[in-house]
Amino acid sequence: MSRIRDALSKIEGERRPYVPESYVPDAYGPETYAAPEYVPPPVAPIAPVEETVPAPAGMAGDALPGIPADFHRELSSLRFTLETALPDRATRVVQFSAAVGGEGTTTVAATFARILAQDPSQSVLLVDANVRRPGLGLFFGTPDRAGLREMSAAPGAIDFETSLVAVERWNLHVLTGLPAGTDHGHLFPVEGVRDFWARHGRRYRWVIVDAAPVLEAPETATLGTTVDTTVLIIQAARTKRGVVQRAMDVFAKAGAPVLGAVLNRRRHDIPEFIYRRL
């Protein structure tokens, strides 16, 4: 056994390379290289994020008493549409009208003005321009007084301040009107109405005009040429397409811009949330 051990030791010594005593390892050689110790990167603590439910687009506040939430939401969205369509207007003058009577124009115009006034940064003037059948005084329970027709016909003859009525909020003013009887010729002189908007409308951020049905009152198309745009009110499942088209043609021939239409008194045959998913 000792001979075998000596033989193996001799063979191992022959395989081992000679290293001189003056040898200094290469600083960049593999024998001096050592892989750096792995240090995991610091991990910043992650703060918990509370999940929030975004508010519906266009909502200007809680729904008004007696106003369905979906109706409030749609009219709030109408404000966004008007602001997008009229971005550079310091005062937006918007007329509400219908093709024929009974569409609910006064209700929609008054409700829209009330929703706008929920925002304290917005001042709103609501004008009754339906001199054939004024409705804003009845809607708010205020007396009918001289309004747009009289003031546009004789600028400065009637005190604007005394005709105004503040309703519900400090930033919502109503200008009612007197019925014109059977005298319907040249009810609103164009230059007089434009002068009225320039003198009094500029004090407000919004001027909402409740106008008569355009197919029953030609003066509505004339008024449409003095405002920024008109919104047509259509009662769902009542007004026929041809009637609406005739109303649009009247505005077009007069050169009065129409932004679009509001479908009033719409009924959902299936639950509303299903409509929103369609």
**Domain locations in the chain?**
69-241+248-277
pLDDT in tens, 100-143: 999 999 999 999 999 999 999 999 999 999 998 999 999 999 99
Q: Quick one: what percent of the chain has pLDDT higher than 70?
A: 70
CA angle 98, 101, 106 (to 5 degrees): 65
Q: In this predicted structure, which of 15-29, 44-58, 77-91, 187-201 has the lowest mean pLDDT? A: 44-58
pLDDT for 262 beyond 80: yes
Mean pLDDT for the stretch of residues 13-25: 52
53-74 pLDDT tens trace:
333 333 445 677 778 888 888 8
Q: Which residue has the higher pLDDT, 210 or 43?
A: 210
Of 101, 88, 91, whose CA–CA distance to 220 is shortest?
101
10-19, 41-50, 183-192: lowest mean pLDDT where? 41-50
pLDDT of 57 reads: 38
**Letter for the amino acid at 177?**
G
Tokens 């319907």 label which residue? 184
pLDDT of residue 152: 93
In 3D space, the residue among 100, 129, 109 whose CA is nearest the CA of residue 219 turns out to be: 129
DSSP structural state of residue 84:
H
Q: Return the pLDDT at 156.
A: 82
Residue 51 has pLDDT above 50, yes or no: no
CATH 3.40.50.300 fits 69-241+248-277, yes or no: yes
At 236 the pLDDT is: 78
CA distance 42 to 3: 61
Instruction: Please determine, for residue 45, whether its predicted confidence score (pLDDT) is greater than 50.
Output: no
What pLDDT, on a 0 to 100 scale, did the predictor assign at position 82? 96
- Angle subtended by helix axes 69-85 and 105-117, to nearest 10: 80
